[in-house]
Amino acid sequence: MKLTYIYHSGYAIEGDGFTIIVDYYKDSSDIPGEGIVHKELLKKEGKLYVLCTHSHHDHFNKEVLKWKWEHPNVVYIFSKDILKHKKAKDRDAIYLDKSDTYRDETLFIQAFGSTDLGVSFLIKTADKTIFHAGDLNNWHWNEESTKEEIDEAEAFYQDELNLLASKVKHLDLAMFPIDPRLGKDYMKGAEQFISAIQTDIFAPMHFAEAYEQAAAFAGYAESKNCKFIRWKHRGENIVF
């Protein structure tokens, strides 16, 4: 399988006869038509799954709804908050809330919780178990928050992480936020995540193009026998 970093939290996963695009916000190039999505993935044969974890503008772009006119076999799977916030219509997608599932002959998808809007996605193919966190993370700003706010954020995240870890013992691939804007503890949620769930490959997200700051997590990941992907530019890919 192939994993491509599109931008921010946007990823593409290519398998035998299918492509999954999650949380598309912008393409890998700012030049219209030159990014990996428009230049290659929308022209690729096989089924195209378009997943979106929630309605924030940096995770959901209404443009994706036009892709059904460019690709003959698209399945849209969105968080229910996108429908609730009227970013899409009922007929546009299959909507999942926390604990809901989708299954067909190619994929099994289960929605887990988030510590912000929407959900996170557990994705199972024939031979891989993959997780896209959406905005699930230990979101707190130690330099700005009160102790009560930090404790609340910590408890919220631990509850969601514990639920996931009770159901999932091993991941072939996890895409998870490493957001330097959080301040000195910006890697804490990711550290807790791979300490709780055995993860073979870790791909950072929600860092836009702060590649060096995202790469700082590599040492901790590798201490847990987890391969960390050090992206250097948009559109870069690995085979896993």
pLDDT the model gives residue 141: 73
Which position has the higher pLDDT, 45 or 145? 45
* Distance in angstroms (rounded) separating the CA atoms of residues 72 and 233: 30
pTM of the model: 0.96
Backbone angles phi, psi at 143, to 5 degrees: -75, -15
**Residue 153, pLDDT above cutoff 90:** no
pLDDT grade for 124, boundaries at 50, 70 and 90 = very high
Number of domains into which the chain is organized: 1
Here the CATH number for the domain that contains residue 203 is: 3.60.15.10
Count the Cβ atoms, other than its own, within 10 Å of residue 77. Answer: 22
pLDDT in tens, 46-82: 999 999 999 999 999 999 999 999 999 999 999 999 9
For the chain, give the secondary structure using H, E and C: CEEEEEECCEEEEEECCEEEEECCCCCCCCCCCCCHHHHCHHHCCCEEEEEECCCCCCCCCHHHHHHHHCCCCEEEEEEHHHHHCCCCCHHHCEEECCCCEEECCCCEEEEECCCCCCCEEEEECCCCEEEECCCCCCCCCCCCCCHHHHHHHHHHHHHHHHHHHHHCCEEEEEEEECCHHHCCCCCHHHHHHHHHCEEEEEEEECCCCCHHHHHCCHHHHHHCCCEECCCCCCCCEEEC
* Distance in angstroms (rounded) separating the CA atoms of residues 204 and 1: 18
pLDDT grade for 145, boundaries at 50, 70 and 90 = confident
**Residue among 166, 130, 181 nearest 12 (CA):** 130
**Residue 157, pLDDT above cutoff 80:** yes
Mean pLDDT, the chain, as a whole number?
96
**Residue 143, pLDDT above cutoff 90:** no
Give the domain range for residue 15.
2-239
pLDDT in tens, 171-211: 999 999 999 998 889 999 999 999 999 999 999 999 988 99
* Distance in angstroms (rounded) separating the CA atoms of residues 186 and 137: 10
